[in-house]
Amino acid sequence: MTPDQIKLVQQSWARVTPIADVAATLFYQRLFELDPSLRSMFKRDMKEQQRMLMQVLAVAVSSLNNLEKLLPTVQALGRRHSGYGVTAQHYVTVGEALLWTLEQALGEEFNAEVRKA
């Protein structure tokens, strides 16, 4: 990512943070619409799951300027998710749901440049 893209992602995320609960709800609704079979992977309380998602995303976004520090955390998260049965295709679906959620949350501010970043 370029420094400008990092800044754009961080600025966009800052606009989502005040509505984190709504954004997380939208994300999981969209995720389960795209792939209903994923619902069975979520055994815990969804409010807790939503909170954890937003925390992980906040850490990732805030760490974009220091990817070397972020990488071990992301790798560990990937290993844990692999243990839950998550496959590469699931990440595609998650990405699609996340971009859709950001589009809903940011409205007109979610333009081509923000999407690419």
Mean pLDDT of the chain: 92
How many angstroms separate the CA atoms of 29 and 21, rounded? 12
Domain containing 28 — which CATH number? 1.10.490.10
With a cut of 90, say whether residue 32 has pLDDT above it.
Answer: yes
| 65-84 average pLDDT score | 84
The Cα 96–Cα 93 span in angstroms is 5
Q: What is the pLDDT of residues 90-115, one digit of tens each?
A: 889 999 999 999 999 999 999 999 99
pLDDT value at residue 113: 96
Residue 105 near residue 23 (C-beta atoms within 8 A): yes
- Report the b/e string of 47-82 with b at 16+ CB within 10 A: eeebeebbeebeebbebbeeeeebeeeeeeeeeeee
Number of domains in the chain: 1
Domain of 56, in residue numbers: 3-116
Q: Is the pTM of this model over 0.85?
A: yes
